[in-house]
């Protein structure tokens, strides 16, 4: 698993490459948590993430909750069908705004559509 981040105008994009599971969720948490700041607009680009375990789902939920507590938001982009299926079966899909592409997520941000997840 690899974490890449880029800052943009009013947002941070964090790309997760590979699997997000119990073997690397602590590393992912360490790298993502510093970006959880007041009113942070975070997009997790999951286009190259092929697997998310229950530990990974817990991390995603924890990130969303911490951002919400600070007046920020989290959205997911490019979630593959296998991960979508797991999120739907476990009920996690209702916790996240999801978009197919980064431009869609940025457009929603411009329209103020992500103020609340």
Q: Output the domain CATH number for residue 10.
A: 3.30.750.24
Structural domains of the chain, count: 1
Instruction: Tell me how far apart the alpha carbons of residues 41 and 48 are, in angstroms, rounded to a whole number.
Output: 21
The answer to whether residue 115 is domain-embedded is: no
Summarize pLDDT for 70-104 with one digit per residue, the tens.
Answer: 999 899 999 999 999 999 999 998 999 999 999 99
Segments of 9-110 assigned E as strands: 11-20, 41-52, 73-77, 97-99
Instruction: Tell me how far apart the alpha carbons of residues 95 and 61 are, in angstroms, rounded to a whole number.
Output: 7
Task: State the pTM of this model.
Answer: 0.89
Alpha-carbon distances, residue 10 vs 55, 72, 103 (angstroms) = 29, 11, 14
The answer to whether residue 116 is domain-embedded is: no
Summarize pLDDT for 16-73 with one digit per residue, the tens.
Answer: 999 999 999 999 999 999 999 999 999 999 999 999 999 999 999 999 999 999 999 8
The answer to whether residue 25 is domain-embedded is: yes
Residues spanned by the domain of 84: 2-110
Residue 15 is given by DSSP the state: E
Q: pLDDT at position 114, please?
A: 54
The answer to whether residue 72 is domain-embedded is: yes
């Amino acid at each position: 698993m690899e974490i890449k981040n880029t800052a943009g105008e009013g947002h941070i994009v964090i790309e997760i490459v590979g699997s997000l599971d119990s073997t690397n969720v602590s590393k992912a948490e360490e790298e993502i948590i510093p970006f959880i700041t007041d009113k942070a607009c975070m997009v997790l680009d999951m286009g190259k993430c092929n697997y998310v375990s229950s530990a990974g789902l817990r991390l995603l939920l924890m990130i969303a909750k911490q951002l919400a507590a600070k007046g920020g938001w989290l959205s997911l982009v490019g979630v593959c069908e296998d991960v979508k299926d797991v999120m739907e079966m476990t009920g996690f899909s209702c916790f996240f705004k999801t978009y197919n592409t980064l431009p869609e997520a940025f457009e929603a941000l411009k329209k103020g559509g992500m103020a609340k997840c």
